[in-house]
Amino acid sequence: MSAVISIPSIIIERIKKEAEKQGISVEEYIIELLSRDLNPEDKAKEYIKASLELLSQARDELAKGNIRQAAEKTWGAVALTIKAYAYWKDGRRLKSHRDLWEYKDKVADELGGWVGRLFREASGLHACFYEGWCTGRDIEEVIPEAEKLAKKIEETID
């Protein structure tokens, strides 16, 4: 479910700037703010819920032809899923793209090499958000794998 909230533009710009400074999406930045007081396991569960919601939004954006938004939401879902696993498994907050790239290897070692391939494909979609070079087909092929990862981790942490 998504909702429309009216926020003053100065606050929106601040949120965008802070998210960009941290190298994360606006959605991820807001999720991080709202979940900062949760214990690692509850935070992991919230991240998985948010990841599945982002994938639903990615499908909606794709249906509207908004390739860049669909690409970014798909990337955000995969990143949140990896972060959820890190919170659940190690109580660890992944703060940067480098942290994500390194930790995805741990997830791939435990769940299978397909996780690393998915992560690299999703990372390409993140670049697409800025460059605009990917196609709808690229995103269509990544979304089911991203959903598979989110559901696998959701089963693991429940």
Can you give the pLDDT at residue 1?
60
Which residue would you say has higher pLDDT here, 26 or 84? 84
Is the predicted pLDDT of residue 84 greater than 90, yes or no? yes
Q: Are 88 and 40 in contact (CB under 8 A)?
A: yes
Is the predicted pLDDT of residue 23 greater than 80, yes or no? no
Percent of the chain at pLDDT > 70 equals 99
Contact partners, residue 5, CB within 8 Å, separation at least 6: none
Q: Which of these, 33, 48, 130, 57, lies nearest to 89 by C-alpha position? A: 48
Can you give the pLDDT at residue 22?
83
pLDDT mean over 58-64: 97
Q: Which band of pLDDT confidence, cut at 50, 70 and 90, is reported for residue 18? A: very high
Start-end of H helices in 23-135 = 26-35, 40-63, 67-90, 97-111, 114-131
Taking all residues of the chain, what is their mean pLDDT, rounded to a whole number? 93
DSSP class of 146: H
Q: Are 94 and 100 in contact (CB under 8 A)?
A: yes
For the chain, list the domains and their CATH numbers.
40-157 (1.20.120.330)
Q: Are 142 and 74 in contact (CB under 8 A)?
A: yes
